[in-house]
Amino acid sequence: MQHSFCPEKVRRYSRQLNFFLDIEESEAAATALLKRIMDCRVALIGVGAVGSWILRELVQIGFQRFIIVDPKELKLTDRTRNAFFDHRLIGRPKAMVAESFVHGQVLKPETRAVRAPLDIDTNVEELIGSDVDLIINTADEPYIGATSIKLSRYCVTKRLPLLVAGGFDAHLASLSEMIVPGQTPCSDCYAKHFEETLRGWKPISHPIVDRRRGFGGLPSLSAFAASAAVLKIVRLLSERGGDIEQGRGEFLFDQYSIDSFKVERNPECSTCGDLGRLRAHAD
């Protein structure tokens, strides 16, 4: 196989290249995919229960350029779910703990750790910079739906793909949503869909009233969600990247099955509707 990589990289990423042969149709395409992965600059918002596992897997598959955003510090309670937990690191900012991990694993890392929250007043470009190829959102505070809408609207204007991953409570094993402006539903499309389909629905009270001593989910569910997210990212960057699933799904732990459904892009969406019409006209 012909490579444009140095011998050290060929040895280091031989397994990844062999795996990519199952995705692409030629050795040249597999090599090109690894090159795109190495060149891709990823902004990861949140390195908690799911975000930390996503970062670990991205590094293992070949990504090396990251902006890592998280306002919190590593705590003792993170021991059951964070991929970078170490008792010696308790009290250190999560973003910087994650950055140290990247530098310990990657041959030529390019990173920036940002200890700041993502909220309604955040200027996204000031937070992550303008030189970004992909944004991943796992920030569940104040609510992952709200943070995703904010990022989705930014990504639509910049024509950037956004992966919404992570979850909460019973939705920790999410399959994630890849949002590609003009091609897939944006977060506003999803919000409108659920506004219409869940009209009149009443939530069921949790059977456990006091959940303060709960673990907040199993690490295996977080790792599952991270793996599903990373495979979607690899698919996006592959030569068949235009074939993006449009929908939402999750692994149901109690039934040991996958539950998923498709959400159509809303052509009248005030955020992304015009992009869809422009894309259809170009095609």
pLDDT of residue 283: 36
Please give the pLDDT value at position 239: 81
| Tokens (6 digits) for 5 | 């990589």
Which of 7-16, 125-134, 185-194, 244-253 shows the lowest mean pLDDT across its residues? 244-253
Which has the minimum average pLDDT: 15-19, 53-57, 98-102, 274-278?
Answer: 274-278
Query: If pLDDT is split at 50, 70 and 90, which confidence band does 234 have?
Result: very high
Burial of 222 (0-12, 13-18, 19+ CB in 10 A): buried
pTM: predicted TM-score of the whole model, two decimal places: 0.89
Q: Is 146 exposed, middle or buried (0-12, 13-18, 19+ CB in 10 A)?
A: middle
CA distances 188 to 135, 145, 161, 280, Å, are 17, 9, 15, 20
User: CB of 37 within 8 A of CB of 70?
Assistant: no
Furthest-apart CA pair in the chain: how many Å?
61
